[in-house]
Structure 1
Amino acid sequence: MVNPSANGWINKFFSENKSNYKEYNNDLLAFYHDVRSSGFIYGHVIHINLVNPTDTSQLSSDEISKIALLNSLFSIYKIVSNSENEVVFIEKAISFYTFLHQKGTGLFSKSKPNLEECIANRIQTNENIFAKNFSHIITNALLFMDILAFKKYLEIEENPVNYLKRIEESTIVLVSNALSIKENPSKYDDLLIKLFENSLRYTKFYRKELAHSDFEQFEKFDSILEKLYLLDLATMAMWSDDELSSIEKDYLQTLCIELDIENTEYEISLINIDSYIKKYKNEIPYFNYSNPMKHFYEQSNKNVTKLITRNGKRLTKELRESKELVQLLAKSTISDLDKDEKKKVKKQLLDICKTIPSLTIFLLPGGGLLLPILIKYIPQLLPSAFNENLED
């Protein structure tokens, strides 16, 4: 299984899927339909677009998004270049991402980063664990802009930043106005705008009233991928449990006319977003904001459980070598630890997490909130050691 938190995961992904890629034969519409059905357009990936989808049951949402981004980039590279040369693709992708970041700071202070670092940089945010749990739905929905910009870069090989600025600006204007004309605003609308604002990379958020004549700004987007993506983001903003009003339908249909989108694609967009959200609503943080702490704990518990299961053997080995930590944790089951003992437990747990790439989530801002979940599973990993310490 590919582990996107371990070094070398991209090469492993390519070696395991050489005969497993979907072939689109220059059919951009088929490619987009597949990407949308995977949830990548909506920011919550439910499967990877391969002939035989890879098992993602033990991966975190960020790790799944990394694979989905890589696979989508490679798919668009194959369509545009008519080539499956993985080495050339990686070189092109690194060159593309180098354009997107100013050299001299952070990741790109290196002369040449690797693609794993580039992809991790796109997926990660600087937010704490709690905020990230809710914002990734929009951050990852906007990742499809990377696919659009990479396509443009492969076609004209020019700096893609200006293109990304244009499509970001158009997207936020579109979404802001789609929300402003909703006849029955939902409790999620203000949150959606805030998440969009925090997820933009190249433009500043602003609200602008969009007159019908302003729809002409979308004429510069002539690819079917661009057109359908703009439509899907608008329908995502419009979505509610109730049927769309006549005003809302008029807005979307006017957009379709200006983008020259066939009515069948408009209907497909509405059906897809409705069925997708209704099916996966309980898994998407954005729709569980009414009880954020409860949802944060439930989702974090699932992700930490996956990470512990996947890294169980290595974690067990590291714990067995930390006898003082095990003794303190065993003691905590029968009495309270003092302040110094609690500090020792935290420090030694974080030291262990540093040695296991997948567990570095605990080192991120706010990661300490997740340590109690990790501690809960340790007695299951070391039952005999705990019994011995308790007897002592």
Structure 2
Amino acid sequence: MINPSANGWIEKFFNTYYSLNSSYSSNEQAFYCRTRATGFIYGHVIFLDVSEKLSTKDWTSEEISKVALLNTLHGIYQLTKKNDSSSDFISCALNFYNEMHPKGFSFFQKILPTESKATQLEKIIDSRVQTNDNIISKNFSHIITNALLFIDVLAFHHFLLHKELTKGYIQKLEETIVGIVAISLKIKSKKTQYDDLLIKLFEISIRYTKFSEIKITDINAIDFSFLKTSFEKFYLLDLASMAIWSDGKMETAEFDFLNALGKTFQIEKPFILDSLNEIDDFIQQNKASIPYFNYSNPIKHFYDQASQNVITLITRNKKRLQKELLESKDLVKLLALSTTRDLDKEEKKKVKKQLLDICKTVPSLTIFLLPGGSLLLPLLIKFIPHLFSSAFNANLD
């Protein structure tokens, strides 16, 4: 088992689980279809395509996306370079991200020269998956996971083919994606609540382009000349299918648009139909777990996301937290009392102080010490009784 939020997870991943089984022996379409099946293309990973079964139980969506991004980057490296060396891949990936974001860029300031290459890559991947600056805005997001992480994979593939990252490549790619999605939404005869959510999802995912600044209304107005690989074209077609599917219906104009896009990309019709079937099957099977389709209102969404994060933290640190709580008898007594009556101002202040002291001793719980983290303390208090209900019952007695 690995913990993608702790140092050393990349080395453990390659030592224990490795990457795709001989992915470089497959052709580009086969590799892309395998990646799409995991949900990575759609921004919602449901499993990891690795040689040894890897359970993601109790992982956050960000942690799953981090491992999925690493695995897909490594897979594209194997496919392109015909080299399955993890150390060579890590060095190459670092060179790529250094070129994408030259020295002095924000998340490179966090990297220390004495750190191993694997540790440096861990920090970069963590920054690529993050879409928000703090715990509050993160939990208010419509979807925490970056929906366009495959852009990193396309840019890495471009880097491997050309031995450099052509200036403006990523921005052109984002502008093309935004243009295609905008047209896909425009040709709908009936708009739904999901259309606005889809736009917001792309807005928090793109990094170099302003969605509102793209005013493309016709496919002929988009410059596709810089697209050279089948990966790029497959991805753009799938994003168009994703945008069109958001209302669960396929109109004649929408199907004609996909066919026109496929013709422009010289993609055969069976793949276009496969793209539509894949997105339909994926959403039908996983709709209940995709935040995009279950967004209600910001307050409820914040509570649901925050609750899940707190449960994950408690589960991972159950034994350590139990030990620390049992050593703080006054705190346990106050928490037990809070289940039968409201604590007064001084009691609440004491609970908060002692809980934060405990959070300092458990590394994974330092999230509660961050700005805004104290707002999650009531959730922590709510789930603590489940750790050792007998102790609380004894106190109540």
Contact 2:35 2:72 in 1 (8 A): yes
SS at match of 1:250: helix
Please list, as runs of the form range in 1=range in 2, the aligned pairs for 1:239-254 lying within 5 A after superposition: 239-254=245-260
1:359 to 1:125, Cα distance in 2 relative to 1, 3 A: farther
SS at match of 2:377: helix
SS at match of 1:218: coil
Q: For residues 135 and 234 of structure 2, what CA distance do their matches in structure 1 show?
A: 32
1:290 to 1:232, Cα distance in 2 relative to 1, 3 A: same
1:18 to 1:142, Cα distance in 2 relative to 1, 3 A: closer
Contact 2:19 2:71 in 1 (8 A): no
Q: For residues 232 and 197 of structure 1, what CA distance do their matches in structure 2 show?
A: 18
1:295, distance to aligned residue in structure 2 (A) = 4.5
Contact 2:18 2:50 in 1 (8 A): no
What is the match of residue 5 of structure 2? 5
Structure 1 window deviating more from structure 2 (281-290 vs 344-353): it is 344-353
Q: For residues 138 and 273 of structure 1, what CA distance do their matches in structure 2 show?
A: 20
| Pairs aligned (count) | 390
What is the match of residue 310 of structure 2? 304
Q: Write the letter of the residue equivalent to 1:255.
A: L
Query: Residue by residue, what CA displacement relative to the aligned partner does 1:116-149 show, whole Å, maximum 9, x if unpaired?
Result: 1111111112255465346464852200000111
SS at match of 2:128: helix
Contact 2:65 2:129 in 1 (8 A): yes
Please list, as runs of the form range in 1=range in 2, the aligned pairs for 1:175-254 lying within 5 A after superposition: 175-205=181-211, 206-215=213-222, 217-254=223-260
* TM-score calculated relative to the size of structure 1: 0.90
Contact 2:131 2:204 in 1 (8 A): no
Query: Residue by residue, what CA displacement relative to the aligned partner does 1:31-87 show, whole Å, maximum 9, x if unpaired?
Result: 111111111111111000123431111211111111111111111111111111111
What is the match of residue 132 of structure 1? 138
Structure 2 segments unaligned to the other structure (5+ residues)? none
Q: Say whether 1:382 aligns with 2:383.
A: no
1:134 to 1:65, Cα distance in 2 relative to 1, 3 A: farther
What is the match of residue 283 of structure 1? 289
1:360, distance to aligned residue in structure 2 (A) = 4.5
Structure 1 window deviating more from structure 2 (114-123 vs 348-357): it is 348-357
Q: For residues 133 and 284 of structure 1, what CA distance do their matches in structure 2 show?
A: 15
1:175 to 1:18, Cα distance in 2 relative to 1, 3 A: closer
Q: For residues 156 and 340 of structure 1, what CA distance do their matches in structure 2 show?
A: 65
What is the match of residue 80 of structure 2? 80
* Larger RCO, structures 1/2 (Cα 8 Å, 6+ apart): 1
What is the match of residue 97 of structure 2? 97
* TM-score calculated relative to the size of structure 2: 0.89
1:30 to 1:49, Cα distance in 2 relative to 1, 3 A: same
Structure 1 window deviating more from structure 2 (23-32 vs 113-122): it is 23-32
SS at match of 2:253: helix
Q: For residues 136 and 15 of structure 1, what CA distance do their matches in structure 2 show?
A: 35
Contact 1:22 1:49 in 2 (8 A): no
1:92 to 1:319, Cα distance in 2 relative to 1, 3 A: farther
1:390, distance to aligned residue in structure 2 (A) = 3.9
1:26, distance to aligned residue in structure 2 (A) = 4.5
SS at match of 1:39: coil
Contact 2:74 2:89 in 1 (8 A): yes
1:32 to 1:186, Cα distance in 2 relative to 1, 3 A: same
Contact 1:29 1:224 in 2 (8 A): yes
What is the match of residue 38 of structure 1? 38
What is the match of residue 262 of structure 1? 268
SS at match of 1:47: coil
Structure 1 window deviating more from structure 2 (125-134 vs 334-343): it is 125-134
Contact 2:142 2:295 in 1 (8 A): no
Q: Write the letter of the residue equivalent to 1:90.
A: I
SS at match of 2:232: helix
Contact 1:219 1:258 in 2 (8 A): no
1:347 to 1:138, Cα distance in 2 relative to 1, 3 A: closer
1:337 to 1:148, Cα distance in 2 relative to 1, 3 A: same
Structure 1 segments unaligned to the other structure (5+ residues)? none
Contact 1:177 1:208 in 2 (8 A): no
1:238, distance to aligned residue in structure 2 (A) = 0.8
What is the aligned-residue RMSD (CA, Å)?
Answer: 2.6
1:274, distance to aligned residue in structure 2 (A) = 1.0
Q: For residues 20 and 248 of structure 2, what CA distance do their matches in structure 1 show?
A: 40
Please list, as runs of the form range in 1=range in 2, the aligned pairs for 1:11-50 lying within 5 A after superposition: 11-18=11-18, 21=21, 23-50=23-50
